[in-house]
Amino acid sequence: MNKVALVTGGARGIGRAICLELAQSGYNVVINYLTSSQEAKELQKQIEDEYHVRCLTYKCDVSSTKEVDEMIAFVEKEFKGVDVLVNNAAIDLSNMFHLKNVEDFKRTLEVNVIGAYNVSLRVYKYMLEQKWGRIINIGSTNGINTYYPMCLEYDASKAALNSLTHNLAIQFAPYINVNCIAPGFIGTEKELEGYDEEFLKQEEEKILVGRNGDPKEVAHLVKFLASDEASFINNSIIRIDGGQYGSN
């Protein structure tokens, strides 16, 4: 029987690459989205046509406990539960410091941290019952030592996600492995839009391999962490940034 993977924020960017990678590996996939309805539907069709696994889409704001409860109830009705959870949903409300406000800060924490907590809290019991599960949080090098004051609330949320990863790993041991992937500069459309060529060139010069990452490379790492081959990797924050340095 195919394992079931739920990917939050799965319709675009890194989330999309993760959905495709897991589907190709034989997982049934649930694509969570909030605003990217068309992209989610197109991805669902692509997965079903190319990989012949079951693929569902579900609109849900992961910061809402009620909506998360409804989403997981839907998944449990279609499948028994979630085997692999990828907490990828996130927002980045970057702005000049003097234009920032408390509401944007709260909203960033609600989606990026509380959202991951909400979904993890709702799926872990099934994983414990079957004595196997994977929770993979998608963090950022911004939560470790890459700092940009324009996105300080995003940076803070990703640092909090690291802490959440450690605590959940301890709480759910020994049956659920909880890890966090911290991508650096990944060349998604969202990541590249709005930056001038000079800034992008400067950022590439801080990466030892001399280029931006590809979303597929993050997806490959997710696939590995979800596999039995990674059963001894737990409670870890894993950078995938091409050797990025000097970004503070």
* Residue numbers annotated as active site: 154
The two three-digit tokens of residue 217, written as one number: 């490379």
Cβ(53)–Cβ(28) below 8 Å:
yes
**Helices 115-130 & 152-172 angle (0-180, nearest 10):** 20
207 SS3 class: strand
* CA–CA dist 239, 221 (Å, integer): 10
**Helices 13-24 & 37-51 angle (0-180, nearest 10):** 20
Rounding to the nearest 10 degrees, give the CA dihedral for residues 185, 187, 189, 192: 60
Which residues on neighbouring strands pair with residue 31, listed in sequence order?
Answer: 7, 57
Rounding to the nearest 10 degrees, give the CA dihedral for residues 12, 18, 19, 22: 170
Q: What is the DSSP letter of 241?
A: S
